[in-house]
Amino acid sequence: MEFSPFASAFDHPKEECGVVGVYTPGGEASVQAYFGLFALQHRGQESAGIASSDGVNIKVHAQMGLVTQVFREQDFYPLSGERAIGHTRYSTTGSSESCNAQPLLVDGVHGTVALANNGNIINALQLKSQLQRDWGCTFTATTDTEVIAYLLANASGQSWEDRVFHCMRQLEGAYSMVALTEDTLVAARDPLGIRPLCLGKMGDGWAVASESCALDHLGAEYLREVEPGEVIIIDGNGLRSGRGARDTDRRALCVFELIYFARPDSNLDGQLVHLVRQEMGAQLAREHPVDADMVIGIPDSSTAAAVGYAKESGIPFSEGLVKNRYVGRTFIEPDQRSRDLGVRQKFNPLTDVISGRRLVVVDDSIVRGTTTPHVVRLLRRAGAKEVHLRVCAPPIMHPCYMGVDMASRQELIAANKTVPEIQNITGADSLGYLSVDGLMKVVGEGGGGFCNACFTGEYPVPVQLELTKLILEESGASPVIS
């Protein structure tokens, strides 16, 4: 097996997406949506967009780039209105192209609908073919979000509640969506709650967002998570909710939200993410102790786990790597020197702190194994006497089909190498992964169940194992129902 040399300087699961929806009576919702997206920037850096409604018309501004690159002050003048939805994207279905920047705007028998989604619809190809055949829908994007939008805009039902329920009964996979009509804001979460979504109150208005940290930035009061299978409707009659597709009490929140994706100041499944990550580090210390002088984390996502490892083990914690937070997503050339420089662009070692020390280096995950050897090499060049890698996620052995770009099974190092072989590849003195049982013991203290299919291969819904993120492009204009 060969691992692709065209790897980013971060060998982690790629971000998902972030969604936000805002209703502000008498105010400009698009500005609030902007601040919500700014708080969710960590969930995707490919594109950003906002759709707003003034009660008559829906306007959209969406482009490639970071939130601060996409929006300027003058961009908000056309985006007037009391209702708005926003999206920040990392592509999980469909390529990284401007046509896939969300929210997407479509016309159907019920009028115009703008929609943004975080997740992955695994039967999108079949639904696209159905929409082309039955409604003559013309697709301009290559993402499953456009499929959902057309499905909703043409769904049967006398009310938007009925139409959303009809839509949800046909969708298979993971989704946390926000949609906008001329006079209604809609939010819905898949029946297993795989992707996160929460609800907040701000004055006379309401807000929904992928994470509670976005509500904090809006000054909104966090009320609760949107329940799996729940639909929230906000219009001139206020807020109301119902269950659109919930025939089981089973829950399957993506466990990687707690390991890596969510911001540490967010609450998920009734738990503060920062504290959960500390406990993951503590459990890792119990499972894989080692005699060392110092514990460091690979910033920033592993810092809390490193602190937890240090507290449990009694080994002092220190910063050992400084992260350059102003370096964007970096794809580097396929030669040894430039790969090392790619890591250098992200991190710089505190040589005087780590020189001569035996280090425990805590990371949140190893996906392809392309970056970790360069981090180990960087620490050794800075004088580290020993480097003991500790990973607060179990070995990733299976791809994700639920809204995370996790790489193919052929690219996953743990699917093709043993732990001793991976240790040898990284150049570490020892390597220890958190066990699946240990991870579930930590996160299981919350209120529900989790999807851990990337570790176990036990997917919460049946999936096509050959499914790829470009399936709607590869299928051509008129896919055939299988």
How far apart, in Å, are the Cα atoms of 450 and each of 54, 82, 192, 194, 305?
39, 36, 9, 8, 20
Question: Of residues 17, 137, 167, 392, which has the active-site annotation?
Answer: 17
> Which two three-digit tokens encode residue 123?
């039967």
> Which two three-digit tokens encode residue 73?
């002050």
The candidate with the shortest Cα–Cα distance to 223, out of 196, 198, 240, 197, is 198
> Which two three-digit tokens encode residue 197?
């979504």
Residue 234 sits at φ, ψ, to 5 deg, of: -125, 115
**Is there a contact between 481 and 130 (Cβ–Cβ < 8 Å)?**
yes
**Is there a contact between 271 and 198 (Cβ–Cβ < 8 Å)?**
no
**Is there a contact between 9 and 330 (Cβ–Cβ < 8 Å)?**
yes
**Is there a contact between 185 and 191 (Cβ–Cβ < 8 Å)?**
no
Q: Positive or negative CA dihedral for 150, 153, 158, 164?
A: positive
Active-site residue, 167 included: no
Helices (H) and strands (E) in the chain, counts: 17, 23
**Is there a contact between 233 and 239 (Cβ–Cβ < 8 Å)?**
yes
Q: Are strands 358-363 and 104-108 parallel, antiparallel or unpaired?
A: unpaired
Q: What distance in Å separates the CA atoms of residue 198 and residue 158, rounded to the nearest whole number?
A: 27
- Report helix, strand or coil for 451: strand
- Mapped to the 3 state alphabet, what secondary structure does 46-86 carry? CEEEEEEECCCCEEEEEEECCHHHHCCHHHHCCCCCCEEEE
250 contact partners, CB below 8 Å, separation of at least 6: 192, 449, 460
Neighbouring CB atoms inside 10 A of 360's CB total 32
Catalytic residues: 17
